[in-house]
Each structure stands twice: as structure tokens, then as C-alpha cells.
Amino acid sequence: MASGETVRLVFVGCGLIARHHLRALQESGYAYSVCGAVDKNLDTAEALVASLPKVSDCKVFTSLADCLHWGQFDAAVIMLPHHLHEPYTTECLLAGKHVLLEKPLAHTLSSCVELMRVAEKADAVLMIGEQSAYWPEVVKAKELIESGEIGQPLFAKANYWESACSAFNTTFGTTAEDDWRCDREKVGGGVLMDGATHWVRPLRTWFGDVKEVVGVVCHPLQQRTGEILASVLLQFSSGITASLYCHRNGIPMHPLPFFQIFGEKGEITIDGDFSGGMSVITINNSEGKRFDSLGGYNKGFSQQMKEFLKAIHKGQRGVDSCKEALGEVLVAKAVYKSVRTRKWEQTTLDNLFDTSSQSEVS
């Protein structure tokens, strides 16, 4: 695609998360048009079209098949329940459409492997949407670690906590009573396969690959078959250990720091506030330094969208994004195995996936 040429996009799944991607498009600096909206709930799709910043002839569809039959677009932003990731993304890739797919890669390891196989052969960009890799505070923390600001990192604590409202859970035509996030089979698990992936990626960004994990999970809500509570220890190949605490519920919660990174010379803390904020305390500066205007969690969507559009313009291909996103799925699946075995489990595909039967190891 020529530089400066308008990228025509369709949004597949028009729930709340679509608003973040729409804003990211507006901030991307690239020429674009949202020419299609796909959602099985017609009202949801029409509401997204109504929110577009300018008069548009955006077409509305209640099925991806109808949208692909029309075909007048370059790329799809897919924001659907996890169990639909593989089939819908595959359809788009086989039709030659570029795809920005909301995390995770897929809900099962077999679906992950199959989608990576399709992506490897496709003549289109597939980028897995993990905006926490571009979260300004996460990027800044990486810079500080690499510059030696806190010396050698020793340990980290990650707290994923969220009081999730029904509006957040209403996606792709569901209601609070019919919420796909309540279904372990559709999610591929619980919180570890959903919001907590955004906290695993920063840890991997700072410390490298996760070697093994041990953890416990809790299922206190009858209406949610997947876990909403989890406590995990992660051992990285670099030798660093981190703890990950996950709590996703529909009740008010007392704020916890999102991240704390402890080093030989100091500590980095990312505030428990989606609008942003972080501090650094070191041996040489006990009063610390504050960073309050980096942008916050949602700012990561903008840089992610820029990278996606840049890849389309440059004609980039490959499955690096898939391989990176597979890491979060492997961590979650290893924790689930650890819960069953009550032992440390390695986060390798061979340990968690039986290639002969194409199923997750039980």
C-alpha cells in the first residue's frame, strides 16, 4: 500500500473496546476510514457508526460473512469473545484482509497453533492487540531499568485488579445476564486469559521469557465458571521472580499499585490508576521522582494502532506478533496445569500441548 493512502477498516465487534480503537485511529496520524461495522446486535453496530467523528457511509453488517462478501475494505479490527478469534481471523486472512486482533491469540492452544499456521502462509498483516506493550508507564519503566536507575532488578509485584462493570462485559451483542466472560469454555479460562494478560506482557517486556510458574486460582462466583481470583509466582529465564495477583469483580475495590519493581538501588512503582502515574525511589534520591503526565494505560492503544497501520503501509508480514502473544496464553495455561498438579510448571508448548492429539495436556 502506498504511503499516505487511506486504509479502509471494518470493526468486527462493536462493544466498549471498539471506542478505544476508534480513538486510537483518530490519534494515529494515518489516513483511514471506518467503512464497515459488524456486530450480531444491529443496535450495537449502529451505535458505533453514530459515534464516528464525521459523516460516513459506513456500512452495517450482522455477520462477518456478509461483510467479506461485500469485501470493500483493507483491514479488520476484531474485538470478539476469545473462542471466535481463530475462525473469524482465519476468514479475514484467507480473504487477504489485514487483521488487528484483540488479545489473547486464541482461547485454546490448538486454536493458537492453527491460527499461527494460517498467519504464516497469509499474504496479510496479523497483529495481536496487546496495548500494554505500548503503555507509556511500562515503556518508561523499561528505559529506567535498562539505564540502571534502580540497579539490577531483583523482584517484581504485579496487581491486576478491576471492578468490572456490566457495560465493560457487554460485547458483541451480549447482556449482563448472557456474558461470554462468565463462560470458561469461551474465555479459555478466567481472569488469567482475560484482563491479566495485560499485566503479564509488561513483566515479560522487562524481564524476558517466563520459564515456569506456580499458582492458585479461586472461583467464588457461581455465575462465572472461570476464575476471578488468582495468585501466581513467575520465574523468568533471567533468574528474576515476580508475583502476579489478579482480582476481577463487580464490587468497589481499594486501589493497589499496578506494578512494583524492586532493584538493588531502588524501586519503581506504577500507580493503580488507569489514567497514569509512576514514581521512582533510589538510594541517591529517597524523596523520589514522579512521572504524572506520561499518558496512562489507554494511551497504549494509540501507539499500537500506529504500528498496525505502519505495518500495512510497509507490507510487513510474518507471525512475530503471534509468537509474542502466545507467551501470555502459555503462562495462563501453565498456571491452570499447576493448579491441577500443585507443582511448578514450565511455560513451554511441549509441556502444555499434545501435538499428537492436538489438545491441551490435562
C-alpha cell at 190: 478466567
Q: What CA–CA distance (Å, rounded) separates 76 from 346?
A: 34
Q: What CA–CA distance (Å, rounded) separates 127 from 317?
A: 10
Q: Which residue has the cell 475494505?
A: 73
Q: What CA–CA distance (Å, rounded) separates 126 from 116?
A: 9
362 residues of the chain, pLDDT tens digit each: 666 789 999 999 999 899 999 999 999 999 999 999 999 999 999 999 999 877 678 999 999 999 999 999 999 999 999 999 999 999 999 999 999 999 999 999 999 999 999 999 999 999 999 999 999 999 999 999 999 999 999 999 999 998 654 444 443 333 444 588 889 999 999 999 999 999 999 999 999 999 999 999 998 877 788 999 999 999 999 999 999 999 987 777 788 999 999 999 999 999 999 999 999 999 999 889 999 999 999 999 999 999 999 999 988 776 678 999 999 999 999 999 999 999 999 999 999 987 666 678 75
The number of CA neighbours under 13 Å toward the Cβ of 57 is 3
**Residue 190 host element (H or E):** none
User: Cα-atom radius of gyration of the chain, to the nearest Å?
Assistant: 20
C-alpha separations of 211 from 39, 183, 272 in Å: 39, 29, 27
pTM of the full structure: 0.93
Give all domains of the chain, ordered by start, each with its CATH number.
7-131+301-318 (3.40.50.720), 133-295 (3.30.360.10)
Q: Around Cβ 219, how many Cβ atoms within 10 Å?
A: 13
Q: Which residue has the cell 534502580?
A: 150
Strand 153-163 and strand 241-249: the pairing is parallel
